[in-house]
Copies of this chain bind each other. A is one copy, B any other.
């Protein structure tokens, strides 16, 4: 069957019935949240165990189970590898790995796929693991990729039913209260651990900094924690500052960032109380910086800023262009320090941030958002997962969530990368539906989704508007669309929309 963005979706795969994407707010929840196990801790016993092995024994992990991790240490995380190595040594197999995201540091997962320890993956795969899975024939079932909000939804509803959540914590007490703010491995907010600890059957905190009770604020709370294990090191927090976190120096890209702010100015939203999602890509960082400068110059005070929290966002708070930061993921040392000391820098969890099947999430409250992408098509559908060669290299992050929530969703994107145009007749993979995307900002002009007649009216004469088809023609005049990738028949990954429907599938890349 074809879904609403025109993608062919099988009705069933590996025994799992797939619901096709039907529209950004069309699919309402039709079940209850997972009924969680009621825990019981005899206070006369302790929770601190001597090793990960002992914890795995105590929680009774067995073949076929699902384990989860949160990715706040990003490319500095040591816990996923540590736990998988232990599981492998204990002879447990057929594990479904549900890390919120995997990074290049988790390349070792490939070994565990080869040896049968990991047979299924649900979560983002940034880099090598994604590329490996792209080849086909690696996993027992297609991987499932979800947005931050979509994952929270899936965990809470029991669609992604977690047996054991492993929580990496740079500070923890003997009852499992922990946060990400203090200790040698401090990484800041740990919002993505929330649904895992609440809904997993068992929660094990792995820490390299056991401190006296009570560790506060208890972002992960004792009431959800079964065991605590102390290890030498949970990772290297310098790994949280990966790749995308440098501001762009390219004049063309800086122009995109400036144009993004001009769009907001022309749209008339830059006034007191304004709220924005700041991205973490090089262009979005620049746009955030320019936005801050604009607000400062005009004496405007926004209400809140979200997004991967970087020093550019901290500047807004500290220099008074934003009242508050809502932070689910902290990206540099300045931001960690701010979270520790500034009560207006508020940590939020993944449900609060972006779960569409909740009483309401923070993305709904965004006036505007800076987002990126690998490709965009003429209907404004955006790809963030694959490259034009078909390889699955990136997670969804909050892309779908923010696009659906924000008043003005802007995709900041150069018209080409290398010699490959980013505007395509058809994107390799649809991640975010065009109906939730409002503006494409490029170095060659600004295209507004025709659906947003109001916005076109506001922007006319103020910014260099261009029809997206015209933009496509201009670019492909001197830089041709690449040949379609050679794909096989195997579906290696399902791209879920945030509401649990399927927006696209990814097929194996023939080498």
Contacts and interface: CB of A to CB of B under 8 A. Distances in A.
Interface of A: 25, 28-29, 31-44, 47, 156-157, 175-176, 203, 212-214, 216-218, 221-226, 273, 275, 303-304, 324, 326, 343-344, 346, 348, 351-352, 355-362, 364-365, 405
The binding surface of chain A is classed by DSSP as loop
A186 to B, nearest CB: 16
Contacts of A361: 222-223
25 contacts: A25-B42, A28-B40, A29-B38, A33-B38, A35-B35, A38-B156, A38-B157, A38-B357, A41-B358, A214-B303, A214-B324, A214-B362, A216-B324, A216-B343, A216-B346, A218-B346, A218-B352, A221-B352, A222-B358, A222-B361, A222-B362, A223-B355, A223-B358, A223-B359, A226-B359
A200 to B, nearest CB: 11
Contacts of A344: 216
A224 B187 CA distance: 28
Contact of A357 (B40, B47, B275, B362): B40
Contacts of A31: 38
A224 B304 contact: no
Nearest to A213: B365
Contact of A43 (B39, B304, B357, B364): B364
Q: Nearest 8 A-B pairs (CB), nearest first?
A: A43-B364, A29-B38, A35-B35, A41-B360, A223-B358, A32-B35, A39-B359, A216-B346
Contacts of A324: 214, 216
A304 B173 CA distance: 13
B360 A222 contact: yes
A203 B157 CA distance: 19
A381 B351 CA distance: 44
Contacts of A40: 28-29, 356-358
A275 B221 CA distance: 19
Given A39-B358, A41-B360, A223-B351, 7 more contacts: A25-B42, A25-B43, A33-B37, A43-B405, A176-B360, A217-B346, A343-B343
A362 to B, nearest CB: 7
Nearest to A39: B359
A76 B33 CA distance: 36
Contacts of A224: 358-359
> Which of A28, A40, A223 has the most chain B CB within a 10 Å cutoff?
A223
Nearest to A214: B304
Contacts of A273: 212
Contacts of A358: 38-41, 222-224
Contacts of A39: 29, 357-360
A360 B214 contact: no
A494 to B, nearest CB: 21
Contact of A175 (B38, B156, B203, B360): B360
Nearest to A202: B359
A47 B212 contact: no
Nearest to A221: B352
> Which of A35, A37, A360, A361 has the most chain B CB within a 10 Å cutoff?
A360
